[in-house]
Structure 1
Amino acid sequence: MKEKRTLMLPGPTPIPKKARLAGAEEIIGHRELECEELLEEVVEGLKYVFQTKNDVLVLTCSGTGGLEASIANTLSKGDKVLSLCTGAFGERYATIAENYGVNVERLDFNWGESIDIDLVEEKLEADNKIKAILMTHNETSTGVINHPKPIGKLAQKYDCLLLIDAVSSLAGIELKTDEWAADVVVTSSQKALMTSPGLCLVSVSPKALKAGESADLPKFYWSFKRAKDRYDAKKQTPSTPAISTLYMLREVLREIKEEGLENVFRRHKIVTKAIRESMKAIGLKLLVSDKIASKTVTAVKLPQGIEYNVLRQKLIDDYNVYITGSKGQLKGQVFRIGHLGNVSRIDILSTISALELALLKLGFEVELGIGLQAAQKVFYEEERR
């Protein structure tokens, strides 16, 4: 009998049953009142999750499209930006800007480390021509959180924009868009928003919209102005949206509101702690310290003598459990477990059990059940609080 698929990726993530069923709703015209009402409810629900009163725009694309849009709508060719790179996705944000002819200064940090705020301020203090800071809230390739709050304070102090890649963090890790002075925040539907791929959601501050008035980079499909004007006038998108995904996202946003954001964040923290404690108990080494560890994905160093592709395939073939590797400098050195969105405690326990068995079969000495015990202890202690 085929095992149940256990999807432990940093995205796409498992979709709640009600949301899956909502995606099967009859398709409607994207200029009908029914679709306008659907979009309006989604936007209001997103403002709750973004913790913002700013405009939230719905783009039909992946998160990468939203990152590209954040550059095209706020900057001009030759503008200088400071890109904070702590891994593959921080580097990709910088590359997107470079492809638009933006003058990018990369501030590189070791993979597995978080942003050094003092170094960021040194750069801003030394150069008054920096128009924007690019940062990745949750560096998925390494499993590191970079905290936006102090960066937002620096952006205000030195009068530049703060553009945030929150693709793998929003709705899983606290991000107070307005309070932390984030000008553009980009996320996508298939991560902690636990919906199918196809939508990118972007919050845009008045400061970012003002910057867009003089931005000369080319845009049409990516235009924030077109998206805002159409929504303000008719509660529509300029082009046809992913209607079925909107149905699903509406249901998920209702569930998030019912659970409450603080409870959502706490659930992610507990699951993260369970994963990390279980890996330590098994005898595996974590890539990053607990202090800067992501609450949506955990990077684990591969034991000597075990190849990532072999471990991954063993988990799939024997237990139908899906994990992923890393990119760039860490390719082949770590595996990553995603634990965001609709990931249950049972999913966590199943994954740990499968991992113990797979490692044992591949020659790694592990006491079966030791990782499970560590995770169970975390869950038990948290439930008693």
Structure 2
Amino acid sequence: MPPFGSRVVNLRIPGPTPCPPDVLQAAAGQMLNHRGPEFGAILRRVTDGLNWVFGTTRDVLSITTSGTGGLEAAVVNTLSPGDRVLAVSIGSFGDRFGNIAAAYGADVQWYKTEWGEAADPAEIARRLDADPAITAVLVTHNETSTGVTNPLQAIAAEVRKRDRLILVDGVSSVSSIPCPVEEWGLDVVVSGSQKGWMVPPGLAFVYLSDRAWAAYERSRMPKFYFDAKRHRDALERNQNPWTPALSVYFALDKAFELMRAEGLDRIYARHREVAAYTRERVKAMGLKLVPVDERYASDTVTAVWWPEGVDGRALARRAREEFGVVLGGGQGKLEGKIFRVGHMGWVRQEDVRDALDVVERLLSEARAAASA
């Protein structure tokens, strides 16, 4: 893992994720003219890489913003105030997606599961059949707050059968978990640079289908910075409409070299293997996974319940301060009750092993102290 100050930190949060040294070196490059041909060539290569990973022949937009900004772009470019939408939430980030739509005046209908559960495609179909006024479905592919991956392909099939738009938060899935946007019939898919792409925060990636572009023409939500047409028109000239995060583009250009060398199939397999190792290891420690059904456990983040009687915050603090292992904590109603192990992007099994060795040691000490 890269150095932080004078220490080596094993960063095991679900984003921002560690970056390879070559990527960090690329990010340190000198600034250049963002309207000149040199950056235009970088933007074209990066866009080709995005199209490759998303699985599309249509150019994916890259916007200087966070993943949340990308979700806002998804909403304002396809919806209008008063549109009825179904927000499918299985955790904190599903709530956020729906709340963004509500903030812009959408009539949000909620389908919420218990945290730890995946959404049921049949229930989504039932709700769409019961309410023909629903125009779009908002869904999180991979919910990092609970470590659960929704059955997106099956959900998308039900949505498309009923001719509704499907807007997908793929912030922590695309590039690490298969999400072929055209093959699955997805309309808008958003990802963020700080997750599986192995680069720093600063860019959101937004795919829009032909159906989404048709919805753009009908959309009446206010938009300026996130206006997708401004970004598409600029991209046709190999530019951004606004000043871009040049350093993140430099990093992403290098990251795509590494990703192409490894290959998408191997990248996905590596994530599956590391995730399976993580789950088996925590279960062997006598710990319980947050996902209710392990079939839907995420390949990019593992969420684990702290044992009863253990001060999880104190253990996580010791892991960070004494061993340089930084774990993700719980969000919302799970704060202090769970820890999360991020394993996406530039990650090997050894990175997770070392982190879990520390967790196991600290838990053993805590249990021994409790029984003394």
TM-score, normalising length: structure 2: 0.96
Deviation by residue 1:262-295 (Cα, 9 ceiling, x = unmatched): 1001000110111111111111111113211000
The answer to whether residue 248 in structure 2 is matched with residue 245 in structure 1 is yes
Kindly indicate whether the alpha-carbon contact (under 8 Å) linking 2:119 and 2:150 is maintained by their aligned counterparts in 1.
Answer: yes
Partners of 2:71 and 2:357 in 1: CA distance: 37
Question: Cα distance, 1:309 vs. partner?
Answer: 1.4
Partners of 2:20 and 2:134 in 1: CA distance: 43
Q: What's 2:271 paired with?
A: 268
- 5+ long unaligned stretches in structure 2: none
Partners of 1:336 and 1:274 in 2: CA distance: 14
Question: Cα distance, 1:72 vs. partner?
Answer: 0.4
The answer to whether residue 37 in structure 2 is matched with residue 71 in structure 1 is no
Q: What's 1:293 paired with?
A: 297
Partners of 1:328 and 1:24 in 2: CA distance: 36
Q: What's 1:15 paired with?
A: 19
The answer to whether residue 66 in structure 2 is matched with residue 62 in structure 1 is yes
Question: Cα distance, 1:2 vs. partner?
Answer: 6.0
Partners of 2:348 and 2:299 in 1: CA distance: 14
Deviation by residue 1:331-377 (Cα, 9 ceiling, x = unmatched): 221111101111122211211111112212323599xxxxxxxxxxx
Q: What's 1:376 paired with?
A: none
Partners of 2:352 and 2:369 in 1: CA distance: 21
Partners of 1:219 and 1:250 in 2: CA distance: 29
The answer to whether residue 177 in structure 2 is matched with residue 173 in structure 1 is yes
1:111 to 115, 119, 132: 115
Kindly indicate whether the alpha-carbon contact (under 8 Å) linking 2:151 and 2:296 is maintained by their aligned counterparts in 1.
Answer: no
Deviation by residue 1:185-234 (Cα, 9 ceiling, x = unmatched): 001100000100101111111110111011000000000010001111x1
Report the 3-state secondary structure (helix = DSSP H, G, I; strand = E; otherwise coil) of the residue aligned with 1:265: helix
Report the 3-state secondary structure (helix = DSSP H, G, I; strand = E; otherwise coil) of the residue aligned with 1:213: helix
Q: What's 1:187 paired with?
A: 191
Partners of 1:242 and 1:70 in 2: CA distance: 20
Kindly indicate whether the alpha-carbon contact (under 8 Å) linking 1:3 and 1:319 is maintained by their aligned counterparts in 2.
Answer: no
Q: Which residue identity does 2:274 align to in structure 1?
A: V
RMSD: 1.4
The answer to whether residue 259 in structure 2 is matched with residue 256 in structure 1 is yes
Kindly indicate whether the alpha-carbon contact (under 8 Å) linking 1:54 and 1:206 is maintained by their aligned counterparts in 2.
Answer: no
Q: What's 1:374 paired with?
A: none
Q: Which residue identity does 1:94 align to in structure 2?
A: G
The answer to whether residue 326 in structure 2 is matched with residue 307 in structure 1 is no
Identity across matched positions, percent = 41
Partners of 1:69 and 1:11 in 2: CA distance: 20
Partners of 1:3 and 1:235 in 2: CA distance: 40
Kindly indicate whether the alpha-carbon contact (under 8 Å) linking 2:125 and 2:159 is maintained by their aligned counterparts in 1.
Answer: no
The answer to whether residue 346 in structure 2 is matched with residue 342 in structure 1 is yes
Query: How many residues align structurally?
Result: 365
The answer to whether residue 333 in structure 2 is matched with residue 329 in structure 1 is yes
Aligned pairs for 1:127-276 within 5 A: 127-232=131-236, 234-276=237-279
Kindly indicate whether the alpha-carbon contact (under 8 Å) linking 2:172 and 2:300 is maintained by their aligned counterparts in 1.
Answer: yes
- 5+ long unaligned stretches in structure 1: 367-385
Q: What's 1:101 paired with?
A: 105
Question: Cα distance, 1:35 vs. partner?
Answer: 0.5
Report the 3-state secondary structure (helix = DSSP H, G, I; strand = E; otherwise coil) of the residue aligned with 1:222: coil
The answer to whether residue 51 in structure 2 is matched with residue 44 in structure 1 is no
Report the 3-state secondary structure (helix = DSSP H, G, I; strand = E; otherwise coil) of the residue aligned with 1:300: strand
Report the 3-state secondary structure (helix = DSSP H, G, I; strand = E; otherwise coil) of the residue aligned with 2:111: strand
Partners of 2:59 and 2:117 in 1: CA distance: 32
Partners of 1:310 and 1:296 in 2: CA distance: 25
Partners of 1:241 and 1:137 in 2: CA distance: 27
Report the 3-state secondary structure (helix = DSSP H, G, I; strand = E; otherwise coil) of the residue aligned with 1:181: coil
Q: Which residue identity does 1:118 align to in structure 2?
A: A
Question: Cα distance, 1:101 vs. partner?
Answer: 0.3
